[in-house]
Structure 1
């Protein structure tokens, strides 16, 4: 039975509203929480996960479903960003359709951001849209990618360039699962936590700077607090700008224009995790904002120092050989390009970001060179 001690954040989207249920042990309640969302057909769900998550958590998840008489057809994929591709999207859809689903069939995305994005996109496409549930297993997915309905795959042209807005029916964020992550992956995920403070709440930035290392080390209470507060911020933004039409939701991309270019140039590999790329990108965004006369050098320096003190990369020292030309070429393919002009999320102060600003190419190049890019 669901525990009354859970923390719940609601994403209020009228008839498409849904809850984010947060707490240690939420996975054991998956059956009881998923059952009310199912149609009248067979008590069966399609579960998309990866080999790592399956090895750690699939038996426990299946037991939670079985307790409510629910079966799972499991689609187990390789881990890693490379799985967010046409190849695996086709595989998921073929297996899903071969299971003779109907529009009452429920899909479950059980994994990190890659699985959540891929499975959510597959759910958006199957039968022109079936319901799905997010069960994020990483800190990054719990605080960011599982919430808000952005689904996508990567293509040779860039990251997340093919996708759809498709809101989940429920998000189950079991903070106990975060103990199975490496400290590096918790640290990378925490970059997306502190991002909320940098874009919209200075006091949350200060909380992250003060408590981040303890949370990253595995303090369960601090991790739960980080997830809850991050989800509250994400829900508030999504409620106001679900389809990224007003510019508010675009603020969540602070550091991502630089970060996605870094990920592409390093081959979407373990060489540079998404959160690590975002950390470097946020430092670059503050540096660019300073060079454009928008934010003080003192504030930009404080952010760089804070991220470094949390053990996050803040430059390209560990990534030798990246060139300005290659990185700017990747940025030219970014989704935020409009009429051939690349627009950045920039800042006026810590906790005060704004979107849609152009930046001179020479200043972007200077930022990249000062961070360690060649050329």
Structure 2
């Protein structure tokens, strides 16, 4: 079973990730992971925290000589702002618990419900862990297993479809062109004209002290049919992917293929017809299902979309109530972004990569990459001959 855990606080000493279940022999370096960590910190509309942090991972276990050993892979990402928070966030009994106390919950955050659930009078104990800073650890975990998926020529990439009310009207028909255009964009947007409109909207919201959300798309190519399963709810790959993406901070909805549009169309315009030819085998000429049918990959590119709400920390704070005095106040302000949709794309790529890699290991087994590849190649050959 491939799994991971993260630990750490936004202003704590470091973020920690442990990935268990990676087979041995997978190429993995700190530089490879750092490339994705840098992408997570980029994007037009990010806030002051990104000027302080320049994330860099240290692999502390599970990799030797650039290859995984089969043991748990342990990674640490130090928080460079720790020096300014070491007394407040210290795990020792000498921690300055009387400083930087937060008692005014921010609407849209886990502040109030988390404080009530865990019995905290200082909301900092909640917001530090609930912060999207934690996604840096998830990017590290997802990138480690992304290295495994790439060994099977499986590619994961994402791009921004909409920010606020600005949306791409028409995408390039070629997936490779979408990937290339998005990679060269500050907003990971595949249309330069739309990107400029998005930037102007971000600038407008920054001046007003407001924030913006948006919609992004994750695409996975090179998937064989047969990953996932229909036999139990928790083995359905679409369900697992949806849970993984929905667990990203601020994500409020996920869809596959034409998604919610399927509810507005007759079945004849929703389902993908099947064809067969000696050269292509079983195939489809449309991909309205988004590469999944019955919780199982069908061999078409996986297409997943997610909507991210506007970041709830605003520089023109919404109204709130002080937890101690019960008096009305404007909500507390923590350092924040105007728009973090491009960062959410990178996190989305990471969590999707993890679920794809997990489904590969589940289906094909193997404790080392050579064994896993052998099983995979035999299955792909079988599928071509059916």
Higher-helix-fraction structure: 1
- Mark yes or no: TM-score above 0.5: no
Q: Output the TM-score relative to the length of structure 1.
A: 0.30
Higher relative contact order, chain-length normalized (CA < 8 Å, sep 6+): 2
Q: Which has the larger radius of gyration?
A: 2
